[in-house]
Amino acid sequence: MAAMSLLLRAAAAWGAQRAASGAAAGARLSWLTGAARLPSTVAPVRHSSGHGKKMFIIKPTSFYDTRFLNMLRFYVFLTGIPVLLFITYVNIFIGEAELAEIPEGYVPEYWEYYKHPISRWIARYLLDPPEKDYEKEMAILHVEAKKAEMRHMELEARRLMRQRGDGPWYHYETPDKNLVDNSMKSTPDN
């Protein structure tokens, strides 16, 4: 909204320039004119040194817009300027690394593969070595692969036990047939 009002104000100033050259159009949109004065040829006035009669322009308030833009500028520059100064200092006085061949028998540290000094610093002190990330990811994959294999084997065992019926699953304990008392069924006329 503040930017919109800036745009409107810019358009109004442009319109005011055109209106000042052709003074007859000024009467129509008098509140839009950016300049607070009429040219001296329209209304000659004492003590204005050729700048014309000073007008009181009635327009909507720009207080909130200017306050917002001021606050925006202030808070952006509050941290922005120190950051920019720091980055400029690093670029000028420390400078970027040079590309070199890996010397014989030397294993570079993992942060020595970056060019800019700030990237090197971040890689060295804030981030983990990429080898560690790689190994962590492989460890996760290994565990998940083992789990998937175990689940697959369990499903296979279940299927086979249900099919063949010779395993500990998928059968219910029944009492021993020697315990069954057949005396009730042993004679036909009971």
- Which pairs with CB-CB distance under 8 Å and at least 24 residues apart come from 77-81? none
What does residue 54 show for φ and ψ, rounded to 5 degrees? -80, 130
* Burial profile 53-65: b = 16 or more Cβ within 10 angstroms, e = fewer: eeeeeeeeeeeeb
Q: Is 156 in the site for another protein (CB under 8 A)?
A: no
The stretch among 8-16, 48-56, 92-100, 180-188 that binds another protein (CB under 8 A) is 92-100
**Within 10 Å of residue 49's Cβ, how many Cβ atoms?**
8
CA–CA gap between residue 108 and residue 96 (Å, rounded) = 17
Alpha carbon 131 to chain centroid distance?
A: 26
CA–CA gap between residue 74 and residue 68 (Å, rounded) = 10
- What does the chain come to in residues? 190
Q: Which of 24, 58, 83, 100 binds another protein (CB under 8 A)?
A: 100
Q: Is 115 in the site for another protein (CB under 8 A)?
A: yes
Nearer to another protein, 51 or 116 (CB): 116
- State in angstroms the smallest separation of the CB of 84 from another protein: 16
- State in angstroms the smallest separation of the CB of 134 from another protein: 7
Nearer to another protein, 29 or 141 (CB): 141
Instruction: Give residues 14-73 in contact with another protein (rule: CB under 8 A).
Output: none
- State in angstroms the smallest separation of the CB of 85 from another protein: 16
Q: Which of 1, 4, 78, 99 binds another protein (CB under 8 A)?
A: 99
- Footprint of another protein (CB under 8 A): 92-95, 97-102, 108, 112-115, 117, 120, 134, 137-138, 141-142, 144-145, 149
